[in-house]
Amino acid sequence: MKNDIPFDTAHRPWASTYNSVGISPELPAPAHASLAELVQERCTHFAAEQAAKRLKHPAFSCVMPNGMNGRLSFAQVNDLSDAFAGYLRQTLKLQAGDRVAVQMPNCLAYPVVAFGVLKAGCVLVNTNPLYTESEMVHQFNDAGARTLVVMDMFADKLPDVLKRSSIEHVVLARVSEFFPAVPGTVIRGVQKVWSKVLPPVTVPHVRLSQALAQGCATLAAQPAKAYWKSLSHESLAALQYTGGTTGVSKGAMLSHGNLLNNVNQMLAMGATHMETGHECVLTALPLYHIFAFTANLLGFLSIGAHNVLVPSPRPVQNLQRAVENFPITWMTGVNTLFNGLLNEEWFTAYPPSKLKASIAGGTALHSAVAQRWAEVTRTPIAEGYGLTETSPVVSFNPLRGTPRLGSIGIPAPGTELRLMGEDGMAVAPGEPGEICVRGPQVMRGYWNNEAETTGVLNDGWLATGDVAVMEPDGFLRIVDRKKDLVLVSGFNVYPNEVEDTIAQLDMVLEVAVIGVPDDKTGEAVRAYVVPHPDHAAQLTTEQVIAHCRQQLTAYKVPRLVVLRDELPKSPIGKVLRKTLKAEVQTEAKAKA
């Protein structure tokens, strides 16, 4: 990408839009040196404010499908995360910069542990709880993680993982952690006896409650602040794994400054509908995903919001008690979540009465869904755009007025953006070009992967691989994805990974994987498989799918496997995915 294009007002048509929609064009510098300082200062501030005003709304609540819930105050979150920092540094003897993997669904233990990792000066490695053993081993070894905090529901994976990975210490948490005694006991009983989702634990481990007790005992001699006082905006905060532009997942290095600035950018874009200390956000998206991590966890904590956590949004009925029993003012989600709620009678009959606005991201928001959401809730829903590599917010649809359907909005304050052609030059207005971004939210690079880093970063500019068109007033519209990434309900699926998994079967000669449109998940994975000549009569689609289910997380498993005699190839033998995609489009037109 060439960088000799002058960056002036002519290339920032969105600049004049800021004031008209209530957005400050200037991005304020972060008020805190690190995320640890943000957590400590904000929790202390809101705890004191609530005590002075005799307010009682918690910092976090966790709501189960049956309505049972637990909660933590700002003071408790602060104290418990201090204790976990002490455990990591004093009991486990971790050092600043050591990586700690956290593998949990939304629950009260998550903010305690994640904030504790940051306060310890360590690096957070968010990990999908549904990962298979192979996926866990790859991520832990790539990150060099020494410690794993994992939900006990997934302990059956640990014997194999510990044999093959860098993990030295295991801390087990419960989904009902910090719940009152009676509901906590009921939930554990149901998990153990009725649903049978608590496997026996056969590896050395420490329960989170024990870790917190041990860590608390260290704080008198060494306060937690000692571990994070030397952190700066340049310090590494998290390794957030993503496929980047190609291939197997890589760790995007996000600094404290990246995330602090992106929080400020998100708050600037939503300021017209936010009131400090009075918001209640529904968090159904998993906090290990960068969207919810930055927006819900960090952003809403910084304004003293009540964060209502739902451990799993599937089935969508799991959200009913949270929506009915709490004064939800904000929601974040992907298109499939909003669409699912709109197909629930309990939601459409009694939508959240306090709702102010909703944020859609992770995948394209369908116009029909956006229109119906606005009609049912009588509140705006705004689509944004971002990547793991940008912490993640790049652009956002302003909430003042009516958000523009089909648009990903305008760049967040402090963000430079260009649309570049294949020749490395900026495209003419109204022409499609690859989105290239520069700003304080752009990652430092990929962890231990110089080649991939230099492939997407040049002089601070990140080539996103996504193609868009810019309207005269600076609003952006995605028109295509340059990369072959498949988005299933907002989650990244990398064709290379699925292809490699299927190719492990001896009966498979060749395989190609693409994404196809799907009404429920946005896209679905389709695999085209050429059987080995010696096994052409034996290989079945069911065998391929069963193998994938053993090796891959559910959303990566092909929805459909097509057996073929051959795959389309280029003259040099490269499988042409674009030809397969064209076939799918032809199929769709024939059915229309």
The CATH code of the domain that includes 560 is 3.30.300.30
How many other CB atoms are found less than 10 A from the CB of residue 152? 22
CB of 54 within 8 A of CB of 42?
Answer: no
Structure tokens at 466: 């996504």
- Characterize the bridge pairing of strands 99-103 and 476-481: unpaired
The answer on 263 and 412 residing in a single domain is yes
Structure tokens at 267: 């708050």
Q: Provide the residue type at 122 as one letter.
A: C
The answer to whether residue 12 sits within a structural domain is: no
Q: Which range is least confidently modeled, 40-49, 142-151, 153-162, 572-581?
A: 572-581
Residue 225 has, within 13 A of its CA and on its CB side, a CA count of 6
The answer on 302 and 215 residing in a single domain is yes
How many other CB atoms are found less than 10 A from the CB of residue 578? 11
The answer on 256 and 128 residing in a single domain is yes
The CATH code of the domain that includes 233 is 3.40.50.12780
The answer on 297 and 206 residing in a single domain is yes
User: Which pLDDT value is given to residue 246?
Assistant: 47
pLDDT in tens, 270-294: 989 999 999 999 999 999 999 999 9
Q: Which residue has the higher pLDDT, 7 or 182?
A: 182
The answer on 515 and 407 residing in a single domain is no
How many other CB atoms are found less than 10 A from the CB of residue 202? 10
The answer on 144 and 291 residing in a single domain is yes
How far is Cα 455 from Cα 408, in angstroms, rounded to an integer? Answer: 25
Task: Look at residues 121, 75, 117, 96 and name the one whose alpha carbon lies nearest to residue 211.
Answer: 117
pTM to 2 decimal places: 0.85
pLDDT in tens, 416-466: 999 998 888 999 888 888 999 999 999 999 999 999 999 999 999 999 988
SS3 (DSSP) at 507: coil
- Cis peptide before 315, with omega less than 30 degrees from 0? yes
Mean pLDDT (the chain) is 91
The answer on 150 and 242 residing in a single domain is yes
- Listed residues 379, 401, 417: the one ending a domain: 417
User: Which pLDDT value is given to residue 97?
Assistant: 98
Structure tokens at 533: 């000549």
The answer on 413 and 519 residing in a single domain is no
How far is Cα 348 from Cα 544, in angstroms, rounded to an integer? Answer: 40
Mean pLDDT of 37-48: 97
The answer to whether residue 148 sits within a structural domain is: yes
User: Which pLDDT value is given to residue 480?
Assistant: 62
* 28 secondary structure, DSSP code: P
The answer on 413 and 491 residing in a single domain is no
Mean pLDDT of 95-112: 98
The answer to whether residue 448 sits within a structural domain is: no
Number of domains comprising the chain: 2
CB of 410 within 8 A of CB of 395?
Answer: yes
Residue 570 sits in which domain range? 486-591
- Characterize the bridge pairing of strands 60-63 and 69-72: antiparallel
Q: Which residue is associated with the tokens 């991520």?
A: 139
Q: With 0-12 CB in 10 A as exposed, 13-18 as middle and 19+ as buried, what is 344?
A: middle
SS3 (DSSP) at 233: coil
SS (H, E, C) 199-261: CCCCCCCEEHHHHHHHHHHHCCCCCCHHHHCCCCCCCEEEEEEECCCCCCCEEEEEEHHHHHH
Residue 143 has, within 13 A of its CA and on its CB side, a CA count of 35
How far is Cα 92 from Cα 213, in angstroms, rounded to an integer? Answer: 13
Band (pLDDT 50/70/90 cuts) for residue 215 is very high
Residue 193 pLDDT > 90: no
The answer to whether residue 356 sits within a structural domain is: yes
User: Which pLDDT value is given to residue 243?
Assistant: 64
Structure tokens at 322: 């949270």
pLDDT in tens, 304-351: 999 999 999 888 999 999 999 999 999 999 887 888 899 899 999 999
The answer to whether residue 461 sits within a structural domain is: no
Q: Provide the residue type at 557 as one letter.
A: V
Cα dihedral 572, 575, 487, 476, rounded to 10, equals 40
Q: Which residues sit opposite 255 in a β-bridge?
A: 236
Q: Which residue is associated with the tokens 């993680």?
A: 145
The answer to whether residue 46 sits within a structural domain is: yes
The answer to whether residue 147 sits within a structural domain is: yes
Cα dihedral 13, 17, 18, 21, rounded to 10, equals -160
How far is Cα 461 from Cα 447, in angstroms, rounded to an integer? Answer: 18
Structure tokens at 474: 């600076």
- Listed residues 386, 417, 448: the one ending a domain: 417
The answer on 389 and 499 residing in a single domain is no
CB of 452 within 8 A of CB of 446?
Answer: yes
Task: Look at residues 178, 362, 201, 359 and name the one whose alpha carbon lies nearest to residue 281.
Answer: 359
Task: Report the alpha-carbon angle 341-342-347, nearest 5.
Answer: 65
Cα dihedral 162, 163, 165, 169, rounded to 10, equals 30
User: Which pLDDT value is given to residue 226?
Assistant: 97
The answer on 71 and 180 residing in a single domain is yes
Structure tokens at 575: 């499988």
User: Which pLDDT value is given to residue 419?
Assistant: 95
The answer to whether residue 2 sits within a structural domain is: no
Q: Which residue is associated with the tokens 């030397």?
A: 230
Q: Which residue is associated with the tokens 């059987």?
A: 531
The answer on 407 and 296 residing in a single domain is yes
How far is Cα 237 from Cα 234, in angstroms, rounded to an integer? Answer: 9
- Listed residues 417, 438, 473: the one ending a domain: 417
Mean pLDDT of 340-363: 92
Band (pLDDT 50/70/90 cuts) for residue 481 is low
